[in-house]
Amino acid sequence: MSKAVPLERILQSQGFGSRRWCSELIAAGDVSVNGQTVTDTRASFVAEGLQFTVYGEDWLYRERVYLALHKPADFECSRKPSHHPGVLTLLPEPLRLRDVQPVGRLDHDTTGLLLLSDDGQFIHTQSSPKHHVPKVYHATTAEAVTPALVAHLLAGVKLHDEPAPIAALRCVPLDDHRLEIVLEQGKYHQVKRMLAAAGNHCAALCRVQIGGLTLEALGLAAGEWCYLSDAQRALLRPD
């Protein structure tokens, strides 16, 4: 049987501030558990599955969080952005305070599916090229898509800082100026550099899928986020 934990510690673990601050929230009557206001700062509960509200907003206790975000353009994936707002500003403050981090990076002008978590092992698994998690991009090209361009990307292009040619796992024309490109690596500006090396130019880029998880299935508008279920996380594992 799970052991009861002081409510102030539960709130602290969920990103609501220091233990002292969480104790003050409880004493002020700003916290409810299972629909009942709790003002006893000594109250304890089993954390797993606990439903609670803070300032009237509903929360569910999560030991670790796994998120998907539809990243808009002109947001940086850095925790210390320099020229544009950071993607973490799109999340509620408690998620930011519990040290949620982007899994890898998308360029500030690249849109699409971005994962975030406070689980270091999950971040490592999703980021490491050793785990071969494919990622699907839709690239808009400045010049028309040609069979020669597709063939070049599938055969492999030489990037100046890579010892061997880098090839797309799959490359399919979507229309005269759009390609679907599937990669396993996550190298710096990879799609843009591959298109440039193949004689074209990337005008816009969107990541639409990671593993078997698609942005379309999540139904997120630009700037929206959601928690990932266990079934959705399972889609992120390589085959």
Using one digit for the tens of pLDDT, what is the confidence trace for 120-172? 999 888 887 777 789 999 999 999 999 999 999 999 888 887 778 889 999 99
| Ordered structural domains, the chain, with CATH | 4-60 (3.10.290.10), 66-129+213-234 (3.30.70.580), 134-210 (3.30.70.1560)
Mean pLDDT score of the chain: 91
Q: Are 63 and 49 in contact (CB under 8 A)?
A: no
Catalytic residues: 107
Element housing 206 (H / E):
strand 202-210
- Tell me if the pTM is above 0.75: yes
Rounded CA gap, 132 and 128, in Å? Answer: 8
R_g of the chain computed on alpha carbons: 22
At 73, list the tokens: 């353009």
DSSP codes, 106-165? --TT-EEEEEEES-HHHHHHHH-GGG---EEEEEEESSPP-HHHHHHHHH-B--TT-SS-
pLDDT of 127: 80
Collapse the DSSP code of 96 into the 3-class scheme (helix H, G, I; strand E, B; otherwise coil) and give the result.
helix
pLDDT tens, position by position, 64-110:
999 999 999 999 987 776 788 899 999 999 999 998 999 988 888 99
Whole-number Å distance between alpha carbons of 84 and 108: 8
